[in-house]
Structure formats: structure tokens, C-alpha cells
Chain A
């Protein structure tokens, strides 16, 4: 055997083989034989593989991105759903496809463009200047060498070049934009009447077995979703507080510690008369004002009414008419000399002249109420509430861990936790995974309740935190699987629905008959309105002005061919609320493009550029996808472990 091989090996065949084997090593190096064959890829795209490792990386960075964008407000279950995983995998496939597309077509950024691109990347700028050290640091922090990063950027830029080419070269032709503008601004002259939904209601009689038949035919529509009643215990600050009776000592202690809260500060009311002296006034003016102030002061002290004097003499426009009254003066409101005087006066005292930057003041303290301490008896309830709250909070903190442990260590009962912590075991009403009341109105409670451990294994749920001051644990009490509702449960509902349907049907047939007669000239619009005692209304002519409750009517009106000039076309449409709208379309007027406002033109132009640009780019990507040969291993995507 060996000799045979040796003989052959010295033949020319061997040499050809040796050379053939050598070539790939020379071109691609030996290392490609040692790389990444150890696991099956999650997808193959035109022969290139996407590894499980790359997928998991991408998955976790996509999750980070979603969490950041929604500020953590995202259900982790959704981020681990098959749908999310598949979406990430699909986007990786489509990125890979575009990468292959631009590579195959030799899209390639020049060095100058690449440099420009990197130099203007905001992450690498310090004080609006490119910083080479920052650049290297960021790269190495993210595990990139400059070469690798530059190559990746070249690729990204090429992909962007493709997208930009298609969007930047989009255009809108004049006839196209004018035609659409004219359609958007089109007006239609329409008279309409609403034939009421209940017109035939009285005539509808259901066949005896009709309800049962409908029920049988539509069983799926009459499902009662799976529902659940749970037993639960709740540890909450509020409930703990309600059970605490503070002792007299506690009350008086806290009252003493927080005296400030129950002290009514003293209040002072003052009036003043201002003799205004400007900052640049000369000595003579000043002296004159001072004299005046002195004489008014004398008058006031002699018993003249201060308020009257203020009205006569004060230069303060704000208080003059009120007899100089400034109301309650609190500390920090007035300029310093004024405040000092006010807070040094006795009730009824008159002082002055006090000099401030405004001039000279005469001040009268009109009322003074001393600081007042509210006695404990008056504020007992307030203080008690605080004691309860404070003790409840520390109790809650103490019990919290015990609660969690007791619930976890006695997974088959809540009784232990309830007894140890003196909690009451309560029972919820029925609730479904989607909706509930009372404790089940809290989504985390419903989520925990419909968890497998609770539902199938009959175990306690974990302790569920509701806000910072409530803990709940629950276990299954009664479970009812999804079921069909019985006929008796839904009979009334079905009857009502069938009657409404048949009445609407009849109304619609009648409406269609009226339309046909009107269009054939067999009946006349006016006569019809008179016979039916209806009054027609005019529909707003511009589509945008039609009120939302008439949407179906507008949809119908604006989907008709224009009637021949001078003629009227009749039509009708069933409305959502069961009415039937009958209308006469009299005229269609094209929009006046020349007189439209600029904004409307600009909006439409933007939409049309998107249609011809970004939309075409999307369709180009779809085309690439359509022509590609790729496969995605969905099984592996579903089963791959989660790395966060």
C-alpha cells in the first residue's frame, strides 16, 4: 500500500496536487484554517457566515441602545423575545448584504475623504478640534486598532455613499407636484342627509335559532380569557402606620423636637408716609423735606389721623391711597433701616423720620400679634401621624427582608409570613393577564401572578415591590383556563348585535335603492327630503374641513369621478355609527395651485422627494435582499443564550 502511494507520489500527478495545495496557503495564509469553524453560524449570506458570537454581541448592544433610548422604560421580556432576536438577526443580514453590495461594486472612499470623515466625527473632537490622543484612547477603549477602525469606517462611509446618492439625486417634476397640489386643494360641492340607524330597527325580528346559530358560528369571538384569583399579603408603610398607637411620651417628645412647626410667628402691620428725596437731591431740598417730615410727625403725634396724613403727604404711590398701609411686614421685605424700626416698635407707636434710599419715612405700627405656640392638644393628630409614619417606615425597613425570606422559604403557603409579620391574607377578585382591579390593577402583580411558578407549580410569587413603600406576595387561589362563554352569558349581547346588523343591512339596501332611483331620474332629491321629513346639509367643500364624524362620507365623496358639468351625481355610504349618508355631488373644482401657500408646497415637495429618494433606497435594499442567497438559523437564534 505505502509503496504504491510512494510510486504514485513521485509521478507528476503529485506535483500538481502539491502546487494546488500550496496556492491557497500562499494567498490567504494558514491561519484561516484555524479560525472560527468551531460553531455553526446563525446565518449565511451569499456564502459568508454570521457567527453566533457576533450575533450575541449585536443583540446585547441593541438592547443597551433600546434601554438607553427609552430610559429603562422597556419590558425586559420584550428585549428577550423571539421577535426582537429575529429583528436583530435580520438587520445584521441586511447590513451584511449592503456591505457585500458596495464591496462588489467597488465603492471606496479616498484617503482624504476618510480622513475628513474621522476628523469631523463629534466623538473625537475636543474643543471643536480633532484630538489624536482622544481618538486613539476611544479606539483602544473599544478594542479597535486604528487600521481596523479606519477599514470599518471606510465600509460604513461606502454604505452611506450609496444611500446618499439615491436620496440626493431625487427630484420632483413640475407637472407632478402641481397635479398633486391641485388634488390636495380640490373642493367638492355636496349636499347630504343622514338616514338614521334606527329607521328599520322596529321591523327587525330575529328567527328563533338565529342567536344560537350565530353563537355556534362565532365561538372564537366569545372567549373568556384565562383568569385568576390570588391570595396575597401586603406589607406597606401605610398599613403598618394605621396599626401604631403612639404613646403620650412619644407624642410630647416629637412635639418638643419639632416645636418650630407648631409655632405661629409674630406678625406686625405697619403704615408709613414717605417724603421722597432723590439720590441726586441737593442739601437744600433734603433739609426742606426733613422739615416737612418733622412737621407732619408733630401733627400725627398731636393726634391727627395717620391715614389721612398719608393720603395728603405721602410720596409712595403704592400705599398712599390705602392711608399708607403696608399690610403685614415680614423680615427681609424692607430696606434695613425701615425694618429695624418696624421690628423695634410697640403697637400704636409712631416713629420718624427714618432715612432710607427713598427719602424720609414716618412709620406707625398699626398691629402686633405676638408669636404663638400651638398647644399639643390642638395638633395632637398631626404629631401622631408623624410618629406613626416614622415608626412605620422603620418597621417596614426591618420587616422587608423577613418578608422576602419568609415568602421564599415557605413556598407552599403564605400563612407563615402572614402570622410572623401579623399580616392579613387577602383574596383578590378575578383578573386576567391584561386587566384587573384592586391589587391586580398593578401590572407587576399581574405579571407575577401569571408566572409559571405561581400558575403551574402552585408556589408563592417572589416579593413584588410596588413603589418604595409596598411589598406584595401572592399565590394562586383559583384559576380558570380560557374558555368559551356560554350562550346564556352572551345571548343579550348577540341579540343586540344581530338586530343592529340587520337594521343596518336593510337601511343600506334602501339607501342604495334611493341612490339608483335618484340617478335614474325616477325620484327627485327635494321630493325625497320632503317625503322623509329630512333636511339636507352642505358638506364643507374642502376635504380638510370635514369634521371627523363625517370621515366615511368624505372618503366616499372624494372617491367619485367628477359628474358631467351641470349634472348631479347621487351616492350613499354606510357610516360607522350605523347611519346611512345619502348625498348629491354637484360640482368638483380643481385646486387653485397658483394661490396656495408656500408651506403646503414645501410639505408636498418634501414628501415627493422622500418618495423618489429615501423610499427608492429602501426598495433598492429590498431588491438586494430579493436577489440574495441567504439563510437564517431561527432555531439557533431562539435558543442562543442571553448575554447582557
Chain B
């Protein structure tokens, strides 16, 4: 750091342009104001050091969180491979998941995610961990826990984009729980960011679940209007809309 160089020029440069009388005046002036200047400069340097310390603390926090998050990613990927080799849990789930109500989410996933969410709340990895936790929960048919994790993001994250993602995913979990009204309320937001196609699709799903076919159809149509016509998303949404007649 070159910080020490800062205060020195002042007392030295002054005499260079001063004549004798002025030198006297300057000395008197220094007597009067010198302390204030030293304190001011000291405060300035202190705040720079403080800022630097804060920066490096943040950086260390982020690096530690990133490392933990990497482990969480691995654990979630491993769980997904396990699930796939064990045959699909998809079709007849209700009877099965009663058996292991204890904790359907694998222990390392839960521990890592919760550590990140509590100890590294100021890093982006807390939100990211909650997203992965929600995924693991859905894959284990633990919808309530998924909803909890996604709600945590809505309550704690200040990242607008991630909030959108969490909100959309929470809506789909609510729909899987047949809570169409809660989903509708959640999806009613002013700013949809770049996510409007998905907002409209889920709104349509919620209306349909609530039995309101006309609203569902027009919501689907709004979604379709915002998707590229050749995309998979468009084809799937069209399937939903077409089934409601036109």
C-alpha cells in the first residue's frame, strides 16, 4: 500500500511558495488546524482500511460459501443419479412416501443447504442453496418442504431475478398441492421481469385448477404470444390451450 505517502506533501510543499511573513502565518495556522488535519487524514485512512477489511471479509465468506455450495451441487447430482437408477418414483407416489416420512431429503443435502442459508446469508449461495434444497425436496415428494425453501428466498433474497425464479417454482409446487388460490395470489405481481411467458402459463394452470376455463384459456394465450413459435415450451403450452377449445 502506498497510503503513507499521502499526508507528507502538505507541510513540505507549503514553505516552497511562502515568503517569510507567510511562513509565520502558515506556522500559526498549522498550530491551530494541524490536529484537525491529522485526525481527518487518520479517519480517512482508517475508513479505507476498514473498507478493505470488509471487502476481504466478504470475499472470504463468499469463497467459503462457494466451496460448500460446490459440495451441495455434487450431493444433489448424486441423489438424482440414485433416483434414476432406482426406477422412476413418478406414478404411484402417495402410498410410497408415507413410509419414510422421517426425512425424505438426504442428510448431506439438508445439512449443507441449511448451513449455507444460515451462516452465509449475505452471499448469493444462500439463495442458490435454497433453490437446490427445494429441488431435492420435490424429487422426494416432500412438497411442503420445497415450498418452505422457496418461501425462504422470497423472504430473504434481495436478488430480483432469483425472486422471480423462486416465485414461479413456488407456484408450481402450490399447484401440485392443489392450492390454486394461493398460487394465483402469489403470481399476481406488477413486475414480471423477463419471465412473463411462464407467469402467464402458471396463472393459466391455476385458473384451470380453480375451474375457470375462460381465464385459463386467455392466460395460456398470453403465454403463447410471448414464446418463440418453434420452441418446445410453445408446443407444450399449445397442447394445454388447445385442449380448452378456442
Q: Which residues of A are interface residues toward B (Cβ below 8 A)?
A: 6, 10, 12, 15, 18-19, 22-23, 26-27, 29, 102, 105-113, 161, 164-166, 168-178, 180, 183-184, 186, 558-561, 593-594, 598, 601, 607-608, 610-612, 615-616, 618-627
Contact = CB atoms under 8 A, between A and B. Distances in A.
Contact of A6 (B6, B17, B193, B232): B17
Interface in B84-130: 88, 90-91, 93, 122-124, 128
Contact of A170 (B2, B135, B232): B135
Most chain A beta-carbon contacts within 10 A, residue among B67, B90, B122, B246: B90
A620 B157 CA distance: 15
Nearest to A173: B176
Contacts of A111: 63
Contacts of A23: 44
B44 to A, nearest CB: 7
A509 B245 CA distance: 21
Nearest to A177: B90
Contacts of B176: 173-176
Contacts of A112: 67
A106 B123 contact: yes
A18 B10 contact: yes
Interface in B111-153: 122-124, 128, 131-132, 134-135, 138-139, 141, 143, 146
B169 A113 contact: no
Interface string B1-36: 011011001100010011000100110010001000
Contacts of A29: 2
20 contacts: A29-B2, A108-B62, A110-B63, A171-B169, A173-B138, A173-B173, A174-B141, A176-B175, A184-B239, A559-B246, A560-B246, A598-B88, A610-B232, A615-B198, A618-B194, A619-B193, A620-B162, A620-B195, A622-B193, A626-B193
B172 interface: yes
Given A105-B159, A623-B194, A113 B236 contact: no
Contacts of B41: 19
B200 to A, nearest CB: 12
B161 A624 contact: yes
B135 A601 contact: no
A546 B123 CA distance: 54
A619 B26 contact: no
B88 A560 contact: no
Contacts of A22: 6, 9
B146 to A, nearest CB: 8
Contacts of A611: 198, 232-233, 236
B195 A19 contact: no
A27 B91 CA distance: 62
A34 to B, nearest CB: 17
Nearest to A166: B165
Most chain B beta-carbon contacts within 10 A, residue among A102, A108, A170, A559: A108
A616 B165 contact: yes
Nearest to A593: B91
B2 A110 contact: no
Given A106-B62, A621-B194, A615 B44 contact: no
Nearest to A611: B233
A623 B10 contact: no
B128 A171 contact: no
B182 interface: no
Given A10-B22, A19-B40, A108-B66, A619 B124 contact: no
B232 to A, nearest CB: 5
B164 interface: yes
A513 to B, nearest CB: 20
Most chain A beta-carbon contacts within 10 A, residue among B9, B73, B124, B132: B124
B64 interface: yes
Nearest to B77: A168
A180 B235 CA distance: 11
A166 to B, nearest CB: 6
Contacts of A172: 138
Nearest to B18: A10
Given A109-B63, A110-B66, A616 B195 contact: yes
A619 B195 contact: yes
B135 A19 contact: no
A338 B139 CA distance: 75
Contact of A623 (B18, B93, B193, B242): B193
Contacts of A178: 90-91
A83 B91 CA distance: 49
Nearest to B32: A12
Contacts of B173: 173
B76 A26 contact: no
Given A26-B6, A106-B124, A112-B67, A558 B242 contact: yes
Nearest to B122: A106
B219 interface: no
A112 B67 CA distance: 8
Interface string B45-78: 0001000000000110011101101100100110
Nearest to B87: A598
Given A26-B6, A110-B63, A174 B93 contact: yes
A626 B160 CA distance: 12
Nearest to B143: A173
Given A168-B135, A180-B236, A10 B194 contact: no
A443 to B, nearest CB: 28
Contacts of B243: 183, 186, 558, 561
Contacts of B93: 174
A184 B240 CA distance: 10
B134 A169 contact: yes
A27 B164 CA distance: 38
B25 A10 contact: yes
B184 interface: no
B80 to A, nearest CB: 9
A10 B30 CA distance: 11
Nearest to A6: B17
Nearest to A596: B91
B186 interface: no
B195 to A, nearest CB: 5
Contacts of A169: 76, 128, 131-132, 134-135
A112 B198 CA distance: 37
Given A620-B165, A620-B194, A625-B194, A175 B175 contact: yes
Contacts of A627: 160, 193
B66 A161 contact: yes
A169 to B, nearest CB: 4
A478 B26 CA distance: 91
Interface string B153-190: 00000011110110011001101100000000000000
Interface in B190-246: 193-195, 197-198, 205, 232-233, 236, 239-246
Most chain B beta-carbon contacts within 10 A, residue among A26, A165, A175, A559: A165
A400 B159 CA distance: 67
B176 to A, nearest CB: 4
Contacts of B14: 10
B62 A107 contact: yes
B87 to A, nearest CB: 10
Contacts of B69: 161
B232 A174 contact: no
Given A173-B172, A616-B195, A623-B164, A110 B67 contact: yes
A608 B135 CA distance: 14
A599 to B, nearest CB: 12
Contacts of B169: 171, 612
A600 to B, nearest CB: 12
Given A113-B70, A183-B239, A601-B90, A171 B194 contact: no
Nearest to B139: A171
